[in-house]
Amino acid sequence: MVPDKLIIFDYSGTLSLESTLFAMPDQLIKHLTESGMVNLGISSPVIFWEQIVNPTWLEGSTTSIGYKKIIVNRITAVLYQNVSGVSYANISDAASLFVDSYLNHSRIDRRWQPTLRMLNDNPSIRVIIATDHYAEATGYIIKFLQELQIQSIAAKDAFAVPGTAAMVVANSADLGVHKADRRFWEILNTGLNMSKLRHVLLIDDFGSNEQKEDSYGTGEKVEQRKRDTVRMLQQVFSAEVEAIPFMIKNNEGEKAFGKLIEQTSVIIDRYLKL
């Protein structure tokens, strides 16, 4: 059966709450300390965002270089001169510990499992997990889905397996462009042969659940991102597009996240009956 419906899940902040909690200032400094990054000059969340993540995000999220290598290169180029008696091996070890900790703290919330498994068993639905992320994330997401007994495959591998029923993990680092770029969706549309789609359901926090230090989740940017994404998906897939904003308010937490999962699952059930 050729799927005529597409469901797109965002990852960080939507399928995974833990990944956003990792970036909270108190948690972030804890992990920076435990990994040894603090000893290399990454001694505060501000330094982490302004000196490491923000300047390297484009390269890190659209190439195969990986988060670990990005951190090592950046510390060596910018901060290493301020750190005495530290070897390259120490930098590499600290970067590896930090990235492994981050990705291991980015698991899919288990409250999504019933819905994801139900979708995985429905041949009329194509499911894509679309994320702007580092190269290492693809393997971790596939592993996390496997832990939930859900079959998945990386997008580029799926292109070579026509008709696969597995969920497709589409990572910007693998496709070479971000989700905000029309080419991201055109690559998927062509590679997965989705010309028969009638409906698209998008479940995304549109960056609203990111930490404030990231500057990605401000209100105006979130709303504009939502409008732009819906319009772009309509154009690329020539299909009806419904967006479900998966947004947690500032004063809410894990309980609200669970409630959103319940509400979204109801909407998905309704969508499947279209």
Give the DSSP H/E element, type plus range, for residue 112: none
Q: Both tokens of residue 31?
A: 């992990």
Residue position matching structure tokens 């679309």: 130
CATH placement of domain 5-16+108-272? 3.40.50.1000
Specify which residues 173 forms β-bridges with.
Answer: none
User: Which pLDDT tens digit goes with each residue over 188-235?
Assistant: 999 999 988 999 999 998 877 665 544 444 567 778 888 999 999 999
Residue 12 has phi, psi (to 5 degrees) of -65, 125
Q: Both tokens of residue 43?
A: 């001694």
> Given this model, what pLDDT does residue 253 score?
65
Least confident segment among 124-128, 143-147, 247-251: 247-251
Residue 254, pLDDT > 90, answer no
Task: Identify which of 170, 189, 182 has the alpha carbon closest to the alpha carbon of residue 231.
Answer: 182
* Confidence grade of residue 165 (pLDDT, cut at 50, 70, 90): confident
* Confidence grade of residue 82 (pLDDT, cut at 50, 70, 90): low
Do strands 199-204 and 240-245 pair parallel, antiparallel, or not at all (unpaired)?
A: parallel
Residue 244, pLDDT > 80, answer yes
Return the SS3 of 1: coil
Q: Between vectors from CA 241 to CA 115 and to CA 109, what angle results, nearest 5°?
A: 25
Residue position matching structure tokens 């998966």: 246
User: Which pLDDT tens digit goes with each residue over 30-77?
Assistant: 999 999 999 998 999 999 999 999 999 999 999 999 999 999 999 988
Separation CA 108–CA 120 (nearest Å): 15
The conformation of residue 123, written as its DSSP 8-state character, comes to T
The total of other beta-carbon atoms located within 10 Å of residue 160's CB is: 9
In terms of Cβ atoms closer than 10 Å to its own Cβ (0-12, 13-18, 19+), residue 117 is: middle
Report the residue count for the chain.
Answer: 274
Least confident segment among 158-167, 180-189, 210-219, 249-258: 210-219
Domain ranges of the chain: 5-16+108-272, 21-104
* Through-space distance between the first and last CA atoms of the chain, rounded to whole angstroms: 17
Would you say 228 and 187 are in contact if contact means Cβ atoms under 8 Å apart? no
Sequence-distant contacts of 212-219: CB under 8 A, at least 24 apart: 213/23, 213/25, 213/45, 213/46, 213/49, 214/23, 214/49, 214/53, 215/54
User: Which pLDDT tens digit goes with each residue over 88-129?
Assistant: 889 999 999 999 999 999 999 999 999 999 999 898 899 999
Separation CA 200–CA 203 (nearest Å): 10
Q: pTM for this structure?
A: 0.92
> Given this model, what pLDDT does residue 215 score?
47
Separation CA 119–CA 167 (nearest Å): 9
Separation CA 112–CA 120 (nearest Å): 12
Q: Both tokens of residue 89?
A: 């091996």
Return the SS3 of 264: helix
Q: In the chain, which ranges are continuous DSSP H helix?
A: 18-22, 25-35, 45-47, 54-62, 67-74, 88-104, 113-120, 137-147, 155-158, 172-175, 182-191, 219-237, 254-272
The total of other beta-carbon atoms located within 10 Å of residue 183's CB is: 12
